Structure 1
Amino acid sequence: MPLLSRDQGPLVDALMKFGLSEYEAMIYITLLSNGPLSVKEITVMSGVPRTKIYPALQHLAKWQLVSLLPEKPLKAKANPPDKILAERLKPLEAEIKQLKKAVVELNRLHRASKVREAAEKHEFWVIKSEAKVASKIGELVSSAGEEVCFLLREDGIALLLNNKYYNEVLLRLMSRSREVHVAVYSSLTDFSGESLDKLRLLSELLEVQYVDYPVSTNLCLVDGRELLLFKRESRWVDMKTDYVGALLSHDFTVNFAESLFRSLSQRSRPAKQMLSILESHWLSFKPRMSEAMLLFSQAMVMSTYQALHGAKNGFSFEVFKAAGKRLLEYLDQKEKLKLIGPTLEETLKLLASFFTIYDGVPVNISYDKSSQLLTLEVRGDLPAIYREAAFRELPVPPSPIGLIMLGVLEEFGYNIFHLKSSFDEREGTWLLQYRLVVQPLEEKELLSPL
Structure 2
Amino acid sequence: MIIMVNEHVLTVSLEEFGLSKYEAQAYVALISKGTISAGELAYYSDLPRTKVYPTLLKLENKKLVIISKSKPIMCTAIAPEDAFDSIIHEQINKVNAMNTLISNLKKASEESRKSRGSEEKRYFHVSANNVLEQLKTMIEGSKQSINITADQWGLGLLAECKEQLLSVLRRNLDVKLLIPSSQICSEMFRAIPNEVKIRVSDSIQNCFVFDETEVLMIDNENGKGAIFSSTEVLGINQNRVFADIWKNAIKTESLADMTKNEAQEIYKIIRIINEYGLTHILNSIIESKKPDLDMLKLLEKNGINLKSKSLDEIIEIMDAALQIKCSGHVNFDAHTKNITIESKLNSGHSLPWAYILDGCLQKQGYKTRTVYQSNSNKGEKVLIKISKN
Higher relative CO (CA 8 A, sep ≥ 6), structure 1 or 2? 1
Same fold, TM exceeding 0.5? no
TM-score range, shorter chain: 0.3 to 0.5
Q: Which structure: larger Rg?
A: 2
Q: Give the alignment's TM-score, normalised by structure 1.
A: 0.30
